[in-house]
Amino acid sequence: MTRWISYVTMCLIGLSVLALFGAYCLFSSLAATAIHDSGFTAESELSQSSDAFRIVNQSLGPKEAGMDGPHPVADRLALEIHSEQATAGIGAHLTRLFIARQLKQRFDTSELTAEWLEHVYVGSGQYGVETVSHDEFDKPFDELTNKEAMLIAALIKNPTIRTSPDRWKKEATRLREVYAPNRRDF
């Protein structure tokens, strides 16, 4: 009797492992298909070596509320890539987790951040840091001053402040105090 129970237990464990492996393969395949179908390439035209990129990228750090996790930009891109099928179900969440994981494996952090910055909502119905840079400062994103880059970082955090200049400047000052407390060139 004990031998039979032991045999059944081992079979159940084996079936569980097979089921988990099958689920892993399924969600990996769904993630790869979603990335391919979206046309995601991470070939951004933003200069990743510019001061503006460095400042905005730094302000996206995990110190800020809502940006928890090892790579929040990959998670946000995964949500964009899988937004058409975005549901509250466990399958949709698992697929987005696998998409984020594959993005982190295929691209480096700067590439993912640059791609996301080209499509991020910046308020007033506009998307992308290049768009807001031209609209608000009449110059390309790569030519922004440190202060202007911090203002754009504040918009990324809270796009609704774009219509309220006082709140916008206050948020940029708060970000500067968090990410560059000893620098006064902002």
Residue 154 CB partners (closer than 8 Å, separation 6+): 161, 168, 171, 172, 174, 175
What band does 186 get if pLDDT is binned at 50, 70 and 90?
low
Q: Most confidently modeled of 11-15, 68-72, 87-91, 100-104?
A: 100-104
- The answer to whether the beta carbons of residues 69 and 62 sit under 8 Å apart is yes
Higher pLDDT, 27 or 121: 121
Q: How do the domains of the chain map onto residue ranges?
A: 2-179
Question: What three-state secondary structure class fits 122?
Answer: coil
CA-closest candidate to residue 94, choices 18, 15, 17, 23? 23
Q: Is the pLDDT of residue 72 over 80?
A: no
Q: Is the pLDDT of residue 138 over 90?
A: yes
Q: Is the pLDDT of residue 116 over 50?
A: yes
Q: Is the pLDDT of residue 183 over 70?
A: no
The reported pLDDT for the residue numbered 64 is 44
**Tokens 């998307």 belong to residue:** 127
Structure tokens at 8: 């059944």
∠ CA 146-151-153, nearest 5°, is 90
Residue 57 CB partners (closer than 8 Å, separation 6+): 110, 113
Render pLDDT for 141-169 as a digit per residue (tens, 0 to 9). Answer: 999 988 899 899 888 888 999 888 899 88
The reported pLDDT for the residue numbered 114 is 86
Distance of CA 96 to the CA centre of its chain: 12
Helix axes 109-117, 72-81, angle to 10 degrees: 50
CATH architecture of 2-179: Orthogonal Bundle (1.10)
The reported pLDDT for the residue numbered 179 is 76
